[in-house]
A and B are shown apart, each in its own frame.
Chain A
Amino acid sequence: MKVLRMGAGAGFQGDRIAPAVDLAERGKLDYLIFECLGERTIANAQQARSADPSNGYDPLLERRMRAVLPACARNGTRIVTNMGAANPAAAAERTLAVARELGLFGLKVAAVTGDDVLDRIGGFVLDETGSPAAALGDRLVSANAYIGIDGLVAALDAGADVVICGRASDPSLFLAPLVHEFGWARDDWTRLGRGILVGHLLECAAQITGGYFADPGKKDVPDLANVGHPLAEVNSDGDAVITKLEGTGGLVSRATCIEQMLYEIHDPARYLQPDVVADFSNVQFEEVGQDRVAVTGAAGTPATGLLKVSVGYRDGWFGEGQISYAGANCVERGNLAITLVRERLARFSGSILDERGELVGVNSVWPSTTGRGDPAEVRMRYAARCLDLHTAQAIGEEVEGLYLAGPAGGGGVTRSTREVLAIASTLMPADSVAATCAMKEVQHETV
C-alpha cells in the first residue's frame, strides 16, 4: 500500500527554519507544508499590500524558499503553503525569482487565490459586533474566507511543485495532497475526516513533538533545543503514523498527540472544515515505536456549505508601559504605581476605551486572590486601548514619569504603542467563494 510522507515545515509565521531544512534534506518527503497564517496575520499583510501592491505576503517567504527549495527540488518534495497571505500572486513571483537564482529551471509555482471576499462582505453580520461589516466604514481592512482544498488540488493536479495560497483552513494544506495523491472522493467523509486529523495534528509543527508541552520533572522532553518538526506517514485509508526524524530533539508520544488533537478544538465530534465536518470523538493513539504514534478512528460527516470569514478592522491604538519594583513591600509599591498612573491619565478619560493595570508575577495572567507569599520582585504593567495614537503614547509616558514621581525604587521602564487590528468573523455560503489557481514555470533567462 502506498504511503505518503508529509512534513510540517512551519506552524506559525515566525517559526524556526532549521527544522524545515532538516526535513527537506533527510525526510524523504513527498510534501513539505508550511502553515504560517494566524488570525491577525492576514489583516496585517493586507495593510502591507495597501502600502505596496507588490507586498502583502509572508516576510520570511524568501528566506524559507531559499533554505528549502534546493533540497526539495533534488528530492522531489512538493511544497504547499499559505505564505501568500494577502498576496499569493506576488509570493509566487518572488518564489519564481528565488528559484531562478538558484538555477531550478523547470520548477512550477502556482498561486491559489479567491479567499479575498472584501468586495462582498458588506452585508454580512459579524458575530462579535452584531452589525453588518459595512458599518465599520473605512476601518474595514480585510475579509478573507477560509477556503478548502479545491484550488490547492487543482494546482497539484496541474503539476505544481510549489503551491502558494492565502487564507485556507490550516488542515486543508495537508488534506489537499492526500486527495490529490489518493484520489479520495469529495464525499468520502470518513477519509476526508482522517485527512483533516492528520493536518490538524501537524499544522502546529513542534507542538506535537514536545514544544508547548515540556514541564521539567513532570513532562520531560529530551533535547528540546534541537526539537524536530513532525512528519506523518499516511496510507490511502487516511490512517497515519506521526513521527519525527532520527537525531532530532523532542518526542512524539500518546500524550503529545492527545494534547495537540484537542488544541483549538471545540466539539471534538464536529470540527467544522470547508470540505468536511471532521469527527475526532473516537480517535485512538497507539505508541508503536520510539517517537512513533499510530492514529486511527477519525471520521467525518458532510460539510456545512458555509465558510468562516475573518474580517480585520482598525480598532484604536494600544499603549503600554512597564516598570519593576523589588524587595520588601514591592507588591504595595507596584499597586501604588498603578493607582498613580490611573489618576494621572484621568484627563484622557474620553479617549481611553479600555484599560488594565497589573503586577507581572502576581496577577497578570489571572486575577488570582490566593496569596502565595511575597514575591522577590514585581513588574507593574499598565495597558490601555485608546481612540488615538496621542493618547496611547501618554500611557507609556505616565509610566516613565514614575521614575522621579512614583513609588520608591522603580526601574527598567519599557513602553510601546501600536495600532489595534481587531478580527471579527462571520459565515458565508461556500458557493459565493471560488478559488482559482495560476501556475508559472521557472524559465532559462533569454538574453
Chain B
Amino acid sequence: MRLYDIAHARTGDKGDISNISVIAYDPVDWPLIRDIVTPERVAAHFGTFDATDITRFELPQLQALNFVIRGALAGGVTRSLALDAHGKCLASVLLELEVGSDDIAPSCV
C-alpha cells in the first residue's frame, strides 16, 4: 500500500523551503499516517536531504501533517535550474511512499 491510497497532499514553497501537507482521507487511517510518515521515512524516501532538514507539525483535528523541508528547492524558485522550480510535484512524489502491506486493509492496522 502506498501513502497515495490513504492520503492526499499539497506542496507550497517559500524561498528554498518546501512544505508538504499530508492529509488522511479517512480519520481511521490517521494513527497509521502519524506513526509511519516520520521525518526519517520522508528523508529516506526523497534521498536528497536529511531528517534534520525536516520539521513535522501535527494537526490531529484535521488528521493532517505538515512537513517543512529546508534546502529542498535547489536555491528556490527564482534561481533553481529545475523544470519544476516551485517543487509543485513533490507532494506526488511523497505519496509514493510505501506504508504497509497490500494485504492489510488500512482500517485494520
Contact = CB atoms under 8 A, between A and B. Distances in A.
Interface stretch (B32-40, B54-62, B101-109): B54-62
A212 B14 CA distance: 17
A281 interface: yes
A284 interface: yes
Most A CB within 10 A of own CB, among B17, B21, B64, B77: B21
Nearest to B63: A258
B64 A262 contact: yes
Interface string A192-203: 000000000000
A255 B93 contact: no
A258 B23 CA distance: 8
Contact of A263 (B21, B46, B62): B21
A420 interface: yes
Interface string B1-37: 0001000111011111101010101000000000000
A365 B84 contact: yes
Given A128-B16, A262-B19, A383 B57 contact: no
Given A259-B23, A265-B66, A128 B15 contact: yes
B10 A262 contact: yes
Contacts of A420: 78-79
Nearest to A421: B78
A268 interface: yes
A40 B12 contact: no
A259 B76 contact: no
A143 to B, nearest CB: 15
A407 B83 CA distance: 23
B52 interface: no
Nearest to A356: B81
Contact of B77 (A40, A260, A268): A40
B21 A258 contact: yes
Contacts of B90: 365-366
Nearest to B22: A262
Contacts of A281: 57, 59
A383 B78 CA distance: 14
A109 interface: no
B44 interface: no
A444 interface: no
Interface string A374-398: 0000000101110000000000000
A354 B57 contact: no
Nearest to A365: B89
Given A285-B62, A366-B93, A39 B82 contact: no
Contacts of B68: 266-267
A219 interface: yes
Contacts of B9: 259
Contacts of B57: 266-269, 281
Contacts of A360: 83
A355 interface: yes
A76 B76 CA distance: 41
A381 B84 CA distance: 12
Given A355-B81, A420-B78, A264 B19 contact: yes
A318 interface: yes
A58 interface: no
A282 B61 contact: yes
Interface string B64-97: 1010100000011111011110001110010000
A367 B48 contact: yes
Contacts of A383: 81, 83
B69 to A, nearest CB: 10
B78 A40 contact: yes
Closest 7 CB pairs of A and B: A264-B12, A262-B21, A259-B10, A263-B12, A383-B81, A365-B89, A422-B79
Given A258-B21, A315-B79, A364-B82, 11 more contacts: A39-B76, A127-B15, A261-B62, A262-B66, A263-B19, A264-B19, A265-B12, A283-B61, A284-B62, A422-B76, A422-B79
12 contacts: A39-B15, A127-B15, A128-B15, A212-B88, A215-B8, A258-B62, A263-B12, A265-B12, A268-B57, A285-B62, A364-B84, A420-B79
Interface of A: 39-40, 127-128, 212-213, 215, 218-219, 255, 258-269, 281-285, 315, 318, 354-356, 358, 360, 364-369, 381, 383-385, 420-423, 425
